[in-house]
């Protein structure tokens, strides 16, 4: 969308308007990340009211907060009033407490109350991300009257494709889709149409688990209940998609060995990116010091047989690679719910066998390389043994560590590829020199 | 779900039935991966007809194909007939051509024709994954008659929440949601309700791009048109979610340095996992040979100053870690459409500055370590320079390589963390010894 940028640079308003009209809200939200706040505000003001709100809702909360700063107070107030309660809660979360309070004071009392309720739940919980806007009916009502109710309530409800059936105490007793209501004869009681084996989420559940359950069940929305099974809100499929995408991005960044960025990459400044990476680089550096220490401890061995050095990168490289393969596969399988803690024995047993096969194959290559060096058959044996051991160690650690972290309540994705590689480096070298000591007598 | 496994092991049919009744279709599909084909067939036969189909549709195509092999011919025929055309196309794709043809012959002519049309599109294209089941109306019809049409067509249509408006030549001219139809007065013409700025997909587009567009726009379905803009099918949000999850899993596996598995991890045998990993381990091993060659070429330098060896793991480890951080961040940002080819200058310029900061910080640590070794200030200078260069090299390569691969039509995720690490290892050592040669004269 170069024309958008060009029109902005030249302040050519007619061209800018023409360019804006060509793009969907999602595309415009994508472009916002490439603009500075002043440009964003200009674009924003040229959009029609409905369009502007649509684009705003598709921005990340951090971007929303930054855009609001560039807008006038009256513009800000209008946006805050009109966005959905769940989006409002997420946005206020990103703002300094003082600013959030001031903004919330300007919101109409009804909307303010709904937002405060959501903000009362823990961050990243289902309660925090759900919307209180849904349609509920009694089981005794008819399909026709239920549709009539949707017609009246519909415009404000975030989704009307699923209607929730509650009893006198607001306890959830059934779910019926708009599809079933439309297909049924108008005088059919809802009780006959509704499904009663309901999959629900509770307010204090982790948002990622809830989004994943919605996705696994192919739902358009999942009802959120409190501890008394009373319906308090719903999470819709579009929000679930956003959550899964954001959580997946965070996992990938962790797997790569960095802290997750809290905003789109292009919107993150150099210092933000630096801060997300330096801490892990430092932790891994400390891990690498262990590797250095091992090398220093075996300085005399290295001086005796310099050829040992040639195989160090092969050995620790292959170990690191095998560990990275295992860890990322297991972390991902855990993230999408395929592998659970109870599968630990099955996983480790499989990885040990895979590790033996991989280690054996790579060791053969290592031996083939060591022999023509002409530094003795015992060097080849040491190299072969070391590669096999280090690959098996890597698949073992790469499989057991993510599962153990999860048991300890930590994010398995923290066992990044670099983390495993660093761990395997030091241990692998220790094994290598031990074999050299035992077999070559150095 | 231990009781399920226990009931299966003891062949306790009543307990098994009780356990099956407790779980949702999604949970049962999850459990299937832990069972062998014979157990799967047993579980499958104990489910009610509708339930069994629901569980079947939630399995991966490879799992579906394996389960069908364990079922009787009549059971297989029934399933193949009843699943949706798009699911059928995906399933037949996983089977040997002969088996697929034989199965397809047993399907009723109408269903067979719809499936053959889908199979005519390229694998992983929008045409291949779309469903031909949707509701379309003319612009001149009214909201009431449109709902009536949904009522009649609805039961077979995969989603009826979005209705497509076409002209006499089946060209797509508008989109109207069931919500708008229900909320409107029954005699309002559809032309007044429909949106005409339609986001579409074309049959030959990549499935991941289409799924991502659907998600970015918060759609429940996206219409697929042919080259003449004629509506030929739709992709629904549940299928889009499945595609995104599978593609993300493949990306993560590639980032970890392995070929993607074509089935859930627990369902993959030891040899399948071995094959997915050995090829990349081998390719990376060849890359590591370059590192070994560099070390051999500088054997005399290493013999002269063994202390140089101590910093090798620190140097190549930190370079690899920095490269892994950059590459995974960029690959993910590209996968979700945040970063595009045209952003290359912006990305590289940002990464060079981040690399300078990170390299400088890590180099300071390296120098602090080198000084107390007491092997001369020039060693400390060499270590500092080498770390800075290698980190900058890593952020540069880690950012430019994924973007370049994409331009060449390759999957950027192939630039896995191990790949970058291996590349940086060799080049980093070359720089290190060159600095040592220039500064220490060895």
Contact B338 A215 (CB under 8 A): no
Of B109, B242, B68, B169, whose CA–CA distance to B117 is shortest? B109
The pLDDT of residue B442 = 80
**Residues A198-211: tens digit of each pLDDT:** 999 999 999 999 99
- Out of A237, A309, A316, whose CB is closest to B309? A309
Contact A328 B215 (CB under 8 A): no
Residues of chain B where predicted confidence (pLDDT) is lower than 50:
none
Measured between beta carbons, which residues in chain A are less than 8 angstroms from residue B211? none
Buried b (16+ CB within 10 A) or exposed e, B392-427: bbbbbbbbbbbbebbeeeebbbbbbbbbbbbbbbbb
How many residues are given for chain B?
442
Question: Residue A176's beta-bridge partner residues?
Answer: A163
Contact B311 A322 (CB under 8 A): no
The pLDDT of residue B420 = 86
Contact B332 A252 (CB under 8 A): yes
Alpha-carbon distance of A200 to A224, in angstroms, equals: 6
Tokens 């160690």, residue located: A393
> What DSSP character marks residue A74?
H
Alpha-carbon distance of B328 to A67, in angstroms, equals: 28
Contact A270 B303 (CB under 8 A): no
Distance of CA B154 to the CA centre of its chain: 32
Contact A416 B277 (CB under 8 A): no
Contact A291 B258 (CB under 8 A): no
DSSP A16-40: HHHHHHHS-HHHHHHHHTTS-HHHH
- Out of A161, A310, A338, whose CB is closest to B295? A310
Number of H helices and number of E strands within chain B? 23, 6
Buried b (16+ CB within 10 A) or exposed e, A191-228: bebbeeebbbbebebebbebbbbbbbbbbbbbbbbeee
Contact B161 A160 (CB under 8 A): no
Measured between beta carbons, which residues in chain A are less than 8 angstroms from residue B249? 332, 336
The pLDDT of residue A19 = 83
Measured between beta carbons, which residues in chain A are less than 8 angstroms from residue B160? 179, 182
Alpha-carbon distance of B323 to B316, in angstroms, equals: 10
> Among the residues of B256-376, which ranges form H helices?
270-297, 299-304, 307-310, 312-335, 344-370
- Out of B248, B311, B326, whose CB is closest to A292? B311
Pairing of strands A221-225, B201-202: unpaired
Contact A266 B425 (CB under 8 A): no
Measured between beta carbons, which residues in chain B are less than 8 angstroms from residue A291? 313-314, 317
Q: Ramachandran region of residue B257, left (φ > 0), alpha (ψ -120 to 50) or beta?
A: left
Contact A258 B325 (CB under 8 A): yes
Contact B318 A216 (CB under 8 A): no
Contact B155 A183 (CB under 8 A): yes
Measured between beta carbons, which residues in chain B are less than 8 angstroms from residue A428? none
Alpha-carbon distance of A308 to A383, in angstroms, equals: 9
Extract the tokens encoding B236: 């629904």
Q: Compute the half-sphere exposure of residue A11: CA atoms within 13 Å on the CB side of its CA.
A: 1
CB A270 within 8 A of CB B351: no
CB B169 within 8 A of CB B231: no
DSSP 3-state of A233: strand
C-alpha angle with apex A358: A352 to A359, nearest 5 degrees? 80
Measured between beta carbons, which residues in chain B are less than 8 angstroms from residue A318? 281, 284-285, 288
The pLDDT of residue A418 = 83
DSSP 3-state of B197: coil
* Chain B interface, best mutation among A223, A298, A329, by max B CB count within 10 A: A329
Measured between beta carbons, which residues in chain B are less than 8 angstroms from residue A432? none
Measured between beta carbons, which residues in chain B are less than 8 angstroms from residue A329? 252-253, 256, 258, 261, 265, 273
Alpha-carbon distance of A181 to A166, in angstroms, equals: 16
Distance from the Cα of B416 to chain A's closest Cα (Å) equals 9
Minimum CA–CA partner of A351 in chain B:
B270
Burial of A71 (0-12, 13-18, 19+ CB in 10 A): middle
Measured between beta carbons, which residues in chain B are less than 8 angstroms from residue A2? 342
Q: What is the pLDDT along chain A (442 residues), one digit of tens a residue?
A: 557 777 787 778 888 888 888 888 999 998 898 888 888 998 998 998 888 999 999 998 889 998 998 899 888 989 999 998 888 998 998 888 888 888 888 899 988 998 999 999 998 999 999 998 899 999 999 999 999 888 888 666 678 889 999 999 999 999 999 889 988 888 999 999 999 989 999 999 999 999 999 999 999 999 999 999 999 999 999 999 999 999 999 999 999 999 999 889 999 999 999 999 999 999 999 988 888 888 888 888 888 888 888 888 889 889 999 999 999 999 999 999 999 999 999 999 999 999 999 999 999 999 998 888 777 788 899 999 999 999 999 999 999 999 998 888 888 888 778 888 888 888 999 999 999 999 988 8
Minimum CA–CA partner of A287 in chain B:
B314
CB contacts < 8 A (A, B): 359
- Out of B34, B241, B318, whose CB is closest to A288? B318
- Residue B110 host element (H or E): helix B109-119
> Among the residues of A343-376, which ranges form H helices?
344-370
- Out of A322, A338, A417, whose CB is closest to B324? A417
The pLDDT of residue B345 = 94
Contact B257 A324 (CB under 8 A): yes
Tokens 């469903």, residue located: B131
The pLDDT of residue A2 = 53
Distance of CA A177 to the CA centre of its chain: 29
CB atoms within 10 A of CB A312: 25
Alpha-carbon distance of A76 to A66, in angstroms, equals: 11
- Out of B217, B255, B339, whose CB is closest to A24? B217
CB A235 within 8 A of CB A126: yes
Alpha-carbon distance of A121 to A226, in angstroms, equals: 11
Contact B318 A266 (CB under 8 A): no
DSSP A385-435: HHHHHHHHHHHHHHHHHHHHHHHTTS-GGGS-HHHHHHHHHHHHHHHHHHH
CB A321 within 8 A of CB B284: yes
Contact A325 B258 (CB under 8 A): yes
Contact B216 A155 (CB under 8 A): no
Burial of A377 (0-12, 13-18, 19+ CB in 10 A): exposed
Buried b (16+ CB within 10 A) or exposed e, B244-283: bbbbbbbbbbbbbbbbbbebbbbbbebeebbbbbbebbee
CB A379 within 8 A of CB A441: no
Measured between beta carbons, which residues in chain A are less than 8 angstroms from residue B222? none
* A172-177, strands of its sheet edge to edge: A135-137, A162-166, A172-177
Minimum CA–CA partner of B294 in chain A:
A310
Query: Any residues with CB less than 8 A from the CB of A345 and at least 6 apart, and which?
Result: none
Alpha-carbon distance of B341 to B438, in angstroms, equals: 38
Contact A317 B248 (CB under 8 A): no
CB A232 within 8 A of CB A130: yes
């Amino acid at each position: 969308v170069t024309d958008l940028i060009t029109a902005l640079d030249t302040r050519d308003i007619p061209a800018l308007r023409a360019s804006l009209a060509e793009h969907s809200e999602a595309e415009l939200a994508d472009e916002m990340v490439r603009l500075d706040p002043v440009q964003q505000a200009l674009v924003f003001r040229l959009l029609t009211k409905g369009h502007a709100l649509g684009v705003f809702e598709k921005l990340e909360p951090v971007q929303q907060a930054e855009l609001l700063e560039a807008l006038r107070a009256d513009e800000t107030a209008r946006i805050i009033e009109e966005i959905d309660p769940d989006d409002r809660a997420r946005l206020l979360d990103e703002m300094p407490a003082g600013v959030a309070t001031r903004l919330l004071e300007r919101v109409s009392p009804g909307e303010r109350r709904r937002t405060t309720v959501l903000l009362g739940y823990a961050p990243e919980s289902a309660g925090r991300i759900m919307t209180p806007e849904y349609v509920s009916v009694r089981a005794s009502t008819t399909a026709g009257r239920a549709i009539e109710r949707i017609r009246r309530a519909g415009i404000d409800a975030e989704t009307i494709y699923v209607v929730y059936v509650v009893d006198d105490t607001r306890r959830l007793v059934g779910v019926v889709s708009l599809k079933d209501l439309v297909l049924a004869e108008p005088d059919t009681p809802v009780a006959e149409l509704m499904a009663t084996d309901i999959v629900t989420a509770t307010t204090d559940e982790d948002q990622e688990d809830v989004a994943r359950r919605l996705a696994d069940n192919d739902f358009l929305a999942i009802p959120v209940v409190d501890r008394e099974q009373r319906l308090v809100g719903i999470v819709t499929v579009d929000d679930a998609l956003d959550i899964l995408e954001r959580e997946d991005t965070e996992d990938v960044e962790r797997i790569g060995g960095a802290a997750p960025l809290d905003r789109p990459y292009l919107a993150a400044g150099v210092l933000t990116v630096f801060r997300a990476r330096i801490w892990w680089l430092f932790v891994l550096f400390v891990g690498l010091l262990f590797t250095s220490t091992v090398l220093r401890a075996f300085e005399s061995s290295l001086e005796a047989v310099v050829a040992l050095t040639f195989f160090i990168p092969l050995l620790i490289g292959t170990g690191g690679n095998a560990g990275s393969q295992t860890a990322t596969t297991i972390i991902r399988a855990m993230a999408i719910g395929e592998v659970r803690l109870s599968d630990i024995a099955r996983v480790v047993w499989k990885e040990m066998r895979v590790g033996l096969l991989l280690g054996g194959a790579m060791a053969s290559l290592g031996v083939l390389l060591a022999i023509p060096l002409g530094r003795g058959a015992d060097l080849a044996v040491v190299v072969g043994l070391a590669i096999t051991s280090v690959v098996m160690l890597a698949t073992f650690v790469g499989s057991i560590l993510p599962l153990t972290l999860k048991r300890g309540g930590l994010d398995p994705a923290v066992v990044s590829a670099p983390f495993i590689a660093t761990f395997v480096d030091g241990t692998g070298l220790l094994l290598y020199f031990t074999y050299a000591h035992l077999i070559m007598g150095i």
